[in-house]
Amino acid sequence: MSTSNSAILAVHDLEKTFGSLVAARDITVSVPAEQTVGVIGANGAGKTTFINMITGHLTPSKGSIWFEDKEITGKPSREITRLGISRSFQVAQIFPSLTVFENMRIAAAIARCSGGVLGNISTPVHSGAATVEAEATIDLFQIGRYRDTPANALPQGVRKLLDIGMAVVGWPRLLLLDEPTSGISVEEKFDLMNVVMSALKTRKITVLFVEHDMEIVARFADRVLAFYDGTVIADGTPTETLDNPRVQELISGVRLKTSTGRPGHA
């Protein structure tokens, strides 16, 4: 199996079945470093299954996944995290009883310690380096105002930023964002994505993000993958993918957003 040298992530012929249900099939994608890839498709089209296979949360039934020219197919998710693939969640996964700073610092401390039982016991959580890293990431995501606020009292948008910040504080090279704007009001979506994307650009992180809002996809993605029925039906620049007739026919919301002024064919 060959992987091109410039690809940070390469998946070949990926398939996932649950009994007789085929959740994903024939997925072959290669992503160059620092690209921002939007992933679109209806619910149940296989987007989250695809993400979960990359993060090791699901083991593929067939195919292989390569990260930085190392095969990671079927490795446990914790090991994959330590290799440099991180993810955020559709519903922000944070520690509600800790403050923003404490959330960020524990994430930074974990990323800095060697892992394993001894590493976790012998690394102090108050280390200067973890604190510096946590403060820098809080600044990067522009949530300094909430530094000492308990996470259970944060507005929705800040929770999202904290969630993504915690995924970034350990300097991953690849970040998977599962619907970063879900649960965010329409007015706030663009501001949120501006903050997130410029933060990720600063850290030169390759991004795959699942998104339902086509305006967001068109604006922030360098490239768009369209999923339908468990497989990729279109792969290209935002314009190419969103203008693809099959995508327009099969994925709701695409025509609506992109064909304004151009009445679609019935």
Phi, psi of 83 (to 5 degrees): -75, -20
What is d(CA 81, CA 170) in angstroms, rounded to the nearest whole number? 9
Instruction: Walk across the sheet containing 223-228 and list its strands.
Output: 85-88, 174-178, 206-210, 36-41, 223-228, 231-236
For other proteins, the closer CB: 74 or 119? 119
Nearer to other proteins, 77 or 142 (CB): 77
Of residues 96 and 144, the one with the C-beta less far from other proteins = 96
- If the CB atoms of residues 81 and 248 are measured against other proteins, the closer one turns out to be 81
- Furthest C-alpha separation in the chain: 65
Q: How far is the CB of 178 from other proteins (least distance, A)?
A: 11
Structure tokens at 258: 């992109």
Which residues of the shown chain bind other proteins in the complex (CB under 8 A)?
55, 77-78, 81-82, 86-87, 89, 93-98, 106-107, 109-111, 113, 115, 117, 119-126, 166-167, 170
Pick the closer one to other proteins by CB: 115 or 236. 115
Is 118 or 256 the residue whose CB approaches other proteins more closely? 118
Residue 228 beta carbon to other proteins: minimum distance, rounded to whole angstroms: 28
CA atoms within 13 A on the CB side of 66: 21
Cα distance between residue 238 and residue 240, in whole Å: 6
Going from the C-alpha of 170 to that of each of 67, 107, 142, 192, 205, the distances in angstroms are 17, 7, 17, 21, 12
Q: Which is nearer to other proteins, 59 or 120 (CB)?
A: 120
Q: In this structure, what are the phi and psi dihedrals at residue 182, rounded to the nearest 5 degrees?
A: -70, 140
Work out how close the CB of 100 gets to other proteins at its nearest, in angstroms, rounded to a whole number. 14
Question: Tokens 């944060």 identify what position?
Answer: 154
**CB 120 to other proteins: min, Å:** 4
Closest contact distance (angstroms) between CB of 233 and other proteins is 29
**Which helix (H) or strand (E) covers residue 167, if one does?**
helix 156-168
CB of 125 to other proteins, least distance (A): 4
b/e for 113-150, b at 16 or more Cβ within 10 A? beeeeeeeeeeeeeeeebbebbbebbebbbbeebeebe
Name the minimum Å distance from CB 110 to other proteins: 5
